[in-house]
């Protein structure tokens, strides 16, 4: 197991190196940040000085090597726009996105999996059809539209929930969290619901398909022949057997939501990393873009590694292979 993790971490280093080249070249190929950053009226001298300060007069390979050189010292560079180091900037925005993502993905799973299992257990019932109907809605209606509708209904029409921003936060481990205050939850609810709907739909489908398949197996028949109740069968047998695909999707959704909750964060003006990256693209703030994309790649590596470890915990048959 330890050997497996070490091997994966070494692979991760290689992946990160490749990603850094791709991201750096990709980001530096588009646009000219000087045009955005400096007023068109500026003198030629000021322009050239700015270009030199940002290191933009160097050839691309030299810029990349400088970047990597700083990177290994833990320095992602400074934001063109804010002038401050990039890493603290991103990390200061991360908790807001992290809590939004956690609430959305965990909530979608806790609600979606039981409903999906029910829909798979009684596929012809009225309730199952209603659940599947909602899941189709969650799949097919675009996030931005649902976000706007949620604001319209809950914030504009009824005025019971705020339309945006984080609300009150409380410090824990030196980081401010909305989930620790009632007011924070009120602010969190709508954006989380908005994000969760698609994930909920996916969890429902996944749990339903898995349950339908498992219910037909001899494992379930044998458990029934032993007199086990349907509740026991669903909880102890079926849930354990469908857990693996659910964990996979949970992990991937968690990673991608953390990275790209852009639409929801924009609509609800949630001050998370999604909004940061959109703003930095608009201002061609290259260091922020590069650092952010590399961070996203790192998240995904971490998520995949975690999923693989959880697999081994969930499926004893994988333990032999992991050990060898």
Partner 1 sequence: MSGPLLVVEGLTTEFPTRAGIVRAVREVSFHVEAGEILGLVGESGSGKSVTGFSILGLIDPPGRITGGSVRLAGCELVGLPARDLRAMRGREIAMVFQDPAATLNPVLRIGDQMALAIHAHETVSAAAARARVAEVLTLVGIPDAARRLDAYPHQFSGGMRQRVAIATALLNRPKLIICDEPTTALDVSVQAQILTEMRALARDTGTALIWISHDLATVSSLASRIIVMYAGRVIEEGPIRQVLSAPGHPYARGLLDSLPAKAVAGKDLMQIPGAPPSMLALPPGCAFAPRCLRADGACDAEPAPTVAGDRRWRCHHPHAEPTS
Binding residues for partner 1 (CB under 8 A): 216-219, 221-229, 232, 236-237, 240-241, 243, 314-317, 320
The nearer residue to partner 1, 152 or 222, going by C-beta atoms, is 222
Characterize 100-124 residue by residue with b for buried, 16 or more Cβ atoms within 10 angstroms of its Cβ, and e for exposed: bbebbbebbbeebbbbbbbbbbeee
Q: Alpha-carbon distance 108 to 281, whole Å?
A: 30
Least distance (Å) between residue 213 CB and partner 1 = 13
C-alpha Rg value of the chain to the nearest Å: 24
Q: Alpha-carbon distance 33 to 256, whole Å?
A: 27
Look at residues 55, 53, 202 and name the one whose alpha carbon lies nearest to residue 132: 202
The nearer residue to partner 1, 242 or 249, going by C-beta atoms, is 242
User: Are the C-beta atoms of 179 and 88 separated by less than 8 Å?
Assistant: no
Q: Alpha-carbon distance 269 to 324, whole Å?
A: 50
The nearer residue to partner 1, 59 or 321, going by C-beta atoms, is 321
The nearer residue to partner 1, 41 or 218, going by C-beta atoms, is 218
Least distance (Å) between residue 224 CB and partner 1 = 6
Q: Alpha-carbon distance 190 to 157, whole Å?
A: 14
The nearer residue to partner 1, 122 or 129, going by C-beta atoms, is 122
Least distance (Å) between residue 237 CB and partner 1 = 5
Angstrom CA distances, 88 to 28, 91, 166, 292, 297, stand at: 22, 5, 19, 11, 18
The β-bridge partners of 85 are 78
The nearer residue to partner 1, 215 or 262, going by C-beta atoms, is 215
Q: Alpha-carbon distance 277 to 260, whole Å?
A: 9
Look at residues 263, 293, 294, 285 and name the one whose alpha carbon lies nearest to residue 30: 285
The nearer residue to partner 1, 66 or 315, going by C-beta atoms, is 315
Least distance (Å) between residue 117 CB and partner 1 = 16
Least distance (Å) between residue 27 CB and partner 1 = 44
Residue 302 tokens, joined:
């971490």
User: Are the C-beta atoms of 111 and 131 separated by less than 8 Å?
Assistant: no
Q: Alpha-carbon distance 24 to 8, whole Å?
A: 24
- Where are the strands (E) in the chain, listed by range? 170-172, 175-177
Least distance (Å) between residue 205 CB and partner 1 = 22
Least distance (Å) between residue 320 CB and partner 1 = 8
Least distance (Å) between residue 222 CB and partner 1 = 4
The nearer residue to partner 1, 52 or 129, going by C-beta atoms, is 129
Least distance (Å) between residue 199 CB and partner 1 = 24
């Amino acid at each position: 197991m330890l050997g497996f993790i070490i091997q994966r971490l070494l692979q991760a280093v290689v992946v990160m190196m490749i990603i850094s080249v791709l991201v750096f070249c990709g980001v530096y190929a588009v646009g000219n940040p000087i045009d955005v950053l400096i007023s068109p009226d500026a003198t030629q001298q000021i322009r050239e000085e700015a270009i030199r300060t940002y290191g933009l007069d160097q050839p691309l390979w030299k810029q990349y090597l400088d970047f990597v050189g700083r990177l290994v010292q833990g320095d992602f560079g400074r934001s063109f726009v804010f002038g401050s180091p990039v890493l603290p900037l991103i990390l200061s925005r991360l908790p807001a996105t992290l809590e939004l993502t956690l609430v959305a993905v965990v909530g979608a799973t806790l609600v979606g999996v039981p409903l999906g299992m029910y829909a798979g257990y009684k596929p012809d019932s009225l309730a199952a059809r209603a659940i599947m109907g909602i899941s189709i809605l969650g799949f097919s209606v675009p996030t931005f539209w649902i976000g706007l509708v949620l604001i319209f209904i809950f914030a504009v029409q009824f005025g019971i929930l705020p339309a945006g921003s984080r609300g009150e936060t409380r410090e824990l481990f030196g980081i401010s969290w909305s989930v620790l205050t009632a007011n924070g939850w009120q602010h969190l609810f709508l954006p989380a619901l908005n994000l969760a709907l698609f994930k909920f739909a996916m969890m429902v489908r996944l749990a339903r398909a898995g349950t339908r398949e498992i219910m037909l197996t001899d494992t379930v028949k044998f458990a029934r022949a032993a007199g086990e109740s349907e509740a026991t069968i669903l909880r102890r047998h079926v849930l354990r057997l469908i857990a693996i695909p659910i964990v996979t999707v949970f992990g991937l959704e968690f990673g991608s939501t953390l990275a790209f909750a852009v639409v929801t964060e924009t609509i609800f003006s949630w001050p998370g990393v999604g909004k940061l990256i959109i703003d930095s693209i608009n201002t061609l703030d290259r260091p922020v873009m590069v650092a952010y994309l590399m961070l996203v790649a790192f998240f995904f590596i971490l998520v995949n590694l975690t999923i693989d470890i959880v697999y081994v915990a969930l499926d004893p048959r994988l333990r032999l292979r992991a050990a060898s």
